[in-house]
């Protein structure tokens, strides 16, 4: 796979912000200076500490509903807007995901390094910084959204992100729906300078001689997550596509385990 000689695809970058830190704006400024079109959906528009600069920057496509409308609505709007502006793909990044110019260049070149008939099968190529022996594409059932290079033509065909999901399972619902429509989700590990750990508010817990990362959520967030998981699981069963059901149940079990563990075991 020759990535160095691949042509960079036409893609925009999209972020959903909610009470962001200063580091977010430094990354946005970096992306703009590198020539990328940046779309920002603001779910805390009245937080003027850092957002005023984004609102007034003509180089940023600023979107908001005037309140926190959740990730489903925000991602749907970002992708549909970028598509309407002529972009083939949109790279979605969480506000606390670290990247560099090398990250963006690698992601831009990766799709064209694949055979055309292979690349067209994927609704999303999800880039991660996980250490791996290579940067080969691996098909998966579910993947989180941050680092996802969405094929906007495919998303337009199958429907944008489900606006009924507020935060949890927005990404999983899209993965399940894409696969039902005959498309794939792929993971690319070992992405250069991709950091989805450093700025995450996770707790490090030592278990069985290993350090595991968990994040403690509020009771309201847990309730929302359980409702979203159950909606997906029973929807999967009703559609007689039980291939995803086990994966969803396993993911829900790990979520519950993480929430219990983060409350019972002290972090080190």
| pLDDT tens profile 38-47 | 999 999 988 7
The answer as to whether 33 is a domain residue is yes
CB atoms within 10 A of CB 265: 14
Q: What is the pLDDT of residues 112-155, one digit of tens each?
A: 999 999 999 999 999 999 888 888 999 998 998 899 999 999 99
Q: What is the pLDDT of residue 4?
A: 65
pLDDT band at 188 (very low <50, low <70, confident <90, very high): very high
Q: Are residues 145 and 228 in the same domain?
A: no
Q: What is the pLDDT of residue 132?
A: 85
Q: Are residues 182 and 95 in the same domain?
A: yes
The answer as to whether 36 is a domain residue is yes
42 by DSSP, 3-state: which? Answer: strand
Q: Are residues 241 and 156 in the same domain?
A: no
Alpha helices, H only, 115-244 = 116-119, 152-158, 170-180, 219-238
pLDDT band at 250 (very low <50, low <70, confident <90, very high): confident
Q: 11-17 and 89-93: which strand pairing?
A: parallel
Q: Are residues 44 and 173 in the same domain?
A: yes
Is residue 112 packed enough to be buried (19+ CB in 10 Å), middle (13-18) or exposed (0-12)?
A: middle
CA 113, 114, 119, 122 dihedral sign is negative
CA 132, 111, 144, 15 dihedral sign is positive
Q: Are residues 210 and 169 in the same domain?
A: no
Domain boundary among the residues 159, 188, 217 is at: 188
Q: What is the pLDDT of residue 208?
A: 45
The answer as to whether 56 is a domain residue is yes
Q: Are residues 162 and 215 in the same domain?
A: no
Q: Are residues 50 and 112 in the same domain?
A: yes
Q: What is the pLDDT of residues 199-226, one digit of tens each?
A: 655 555 555 455 555 677 888 888 888 9
Q: In this model, does residue 103 exceed pLDDT 50?
A: yes
Tell me which of 9 and 143 has the higher pLDDT: 143
Structural domain boundaries enclosing 256: 203-264
Of 10-14, 30-34, 170-174, 193-197, the one with minimum mean pLDDT is 193-197
Q: Are residues 99 and 163 in the same domain?
A: yes
Q: In this model, does residue 6 exceed pLDDT 70?
A: no
The answer as to whether 37 is a domain residue is yes
Q: Are residues 252 and 144 in the same domain?
A: no
**Domain tally for the chain?**
2
Q: Are residues 177 and 226 in the same domain?
A: no
Q: Are residues 129 and 209 in the same domain?
A: no
Q: Are residues 110 and 237 in the same domain?
A: no
CATH code at 37?
Answer: 3.90.550.10
């Amino acid at each position: 796979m020759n990535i160095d000689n691949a042509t960079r695809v036409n893609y925009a970058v999209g972020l959903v912000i909610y009470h962001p830190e200063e580091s977010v704006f430094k990354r946005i400024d970096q992306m703009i200076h590198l020539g990328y079109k940046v779309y920002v959906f603001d779910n805390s528009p009245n937080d003027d500490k850092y957002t005023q600069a984004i609102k007034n920057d003509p180089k940023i496509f600023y979107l908001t509903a005037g309140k926190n409308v959740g990730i489903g609505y925000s991602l749907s709007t970002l992708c549909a807007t970028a598509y309407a502006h002529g972009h083939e793909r949109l790279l979605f990044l969480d506000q606390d995901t670290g990247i560099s110019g090398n990250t963006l260049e690698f992601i831009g070149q990766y799709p064209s390094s694949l055979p055309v008939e292979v690349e067209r099968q994927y609704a999303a190529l999800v880039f991660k910084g996980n250490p791996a022996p290579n940067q080969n594409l691996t098909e998966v059932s579910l993947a989180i959204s941050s680092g996802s290079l969405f094929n906007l033509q495919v998303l337009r065909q199958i429907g944008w992100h489900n606006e009924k999901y507020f935060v949890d399972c927005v990404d999983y619902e899209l993965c399940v729906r894409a696969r039902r429509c005959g498309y794939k989700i792929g993971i690319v590990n070992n992405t250069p300078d991709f950091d989805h750990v450093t700025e995450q508010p996770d707790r490090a817990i030592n278990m069985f001689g290993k350090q595991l990362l968990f994040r403690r959520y509020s009771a309201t967030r847990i309730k929302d997550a359980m409702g979203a998981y159950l909606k997906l699981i029973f929807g999967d069963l009703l559609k007689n596509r039980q291939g995803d059901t086990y994966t969803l149940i396993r993911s829900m079990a790990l979520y519950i385990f993480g929430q219990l563990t983060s409350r019972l075991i002290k972090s080190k």
